[in-house]
Structure 1
């Protein structure tokens, strides 16, 4: 063990989010992965679960044991399904670990809202109050020296990055926001189901959880914080037959007179010091492949003078900027390191 490096454990290492954390953290100069954890596969070599990691992570999977993990690590990433982290995270905190949680269990501040949307018992209120919502590009969001960071959801990351500057500037009528979001099937996780079954998804395109998606209150919570008053959005989700990527196409009524170049200038200024936000020039809109495998979020605009509405297109890789990459950004900011450490990956194209 290098004494100058932080020891890191990854819970849920056999999921797609966990394996993406491994891919990026292997290149991080201040981190050493000392434990990979899986409740279902403990004792087996990591390379049995993911043969492409042979020679990269030559260690066996540990079981879920907070005390044993604390003996090996300083920081733990919990890349588990919702409803699991709510019981695990308090154990890791009590064992003295810092936690970056990739599930949805600590994102919502109101426990009754969490239980309504997630259909699980909420974590204790004091943990919900302590957790810092780690949307890295949100102004005033300081996670440095915190011990519990809640990593945002993939859909909310793409949507909020596309909406926040316009909403904060007062250029968007926030009562008119419609978010049309499309995701690759890796967002459903590695488990086999009809959702991700090849015969169900190949040459297919389907909507799901209309008006019922658990990310709705997360988006509304952040936008309400930006405006200082309740914001309600229409949010629809669809699965498309690709492995990774999210495209959110957002529509809203414009307040005031602002052309496309005005929107571009506003967003470039808002994200001026944010290395992973790329604002497209006029008449150029991003595609999911242009950010694949990277931590970038690309945003483009189209103003419809006929209807007085703005269309905002925001794309991310759901497994990176929507999960593991943003979690590592939060790690960097929590530790006071350069925000881009371990994340300077060029998108994989084509």
Structure 2
């Protein structure tokens, strides 16, 4: 039985969500509150397995509350948010604070929309109950470059030559827990890192705000991908929510195609779609990294990359919020190495230096 606690300042939302969830035999709503302070008082008597949390509430906002929970007693939390640009930005703050999922609610026709989407919420709660939320210590500075190629401290980073050949591509795939994990990794990269293409399972209204947030925090440039964007050093392209992204090659340069199509492995964007295209068009000039996430999306694509000569890495179980995607990749033999998330920035920078083998430098197979 999954114990759920609902925190939302709307009495209607609390009533409808409780009604929807109480009809499920494997879920029990153990309490609800209009704001986090009331919630915390009630939760201390019976701690939930999953929190369903609004972000804009009186007395204490949901993000501050979530950070407090994550610092004291990490608990899987699902953010209940409206699909607006401002709502997306706030929700991303909550995901960065440790939330493991987002459940969207409409502004109009609220009662009807919540009933219609109750199946999706139940699915997210079941997934969240298996998650292990973590708080990452974020590095304030990028990971150091290998000494042999380090530039003198007084020199500015070289400008990117827009006509330069893209020799290496790094493809990242992630889902539950990925917003925190990607922030941890990308914040540590230097501007001479190889071009990066990313699929993060996320609703379409959120990927633009997510990319903008990362761009404001990172030395490298991060943006939501547009059709025919070029992949280049110092740039990370995030697949738009609700679209697939594929890598293509034209002469000596790589581009991305952003296209519509049916979901793959129940996801759009799909990690498998990206990884398979990287295997086909970049082959041994690529490195694939499968990260924290529920399900098996990306595992077969990573195997295709390995078979095409690419370097392949899976995140280890201890540093994953959910070990599903890396575990499936390992079961298939798709990953050369298994590494903690803390090693990923160094692996990416090392790979960018002449396509270095990620197994070197103390990195075990």
Q: TM-score per shorter chain, which class? A: 0.3 to 0.5
What is the TM-score normalised by the length of structure 2?
Answer: 0.33
Structure possessing the higher radius of gyration over alpha carbons: 2
Higher relative contact order (CA 8 A, sep 6+): 1
What is the TM-score normalised by the length of structure 1?
Answer: 0.34
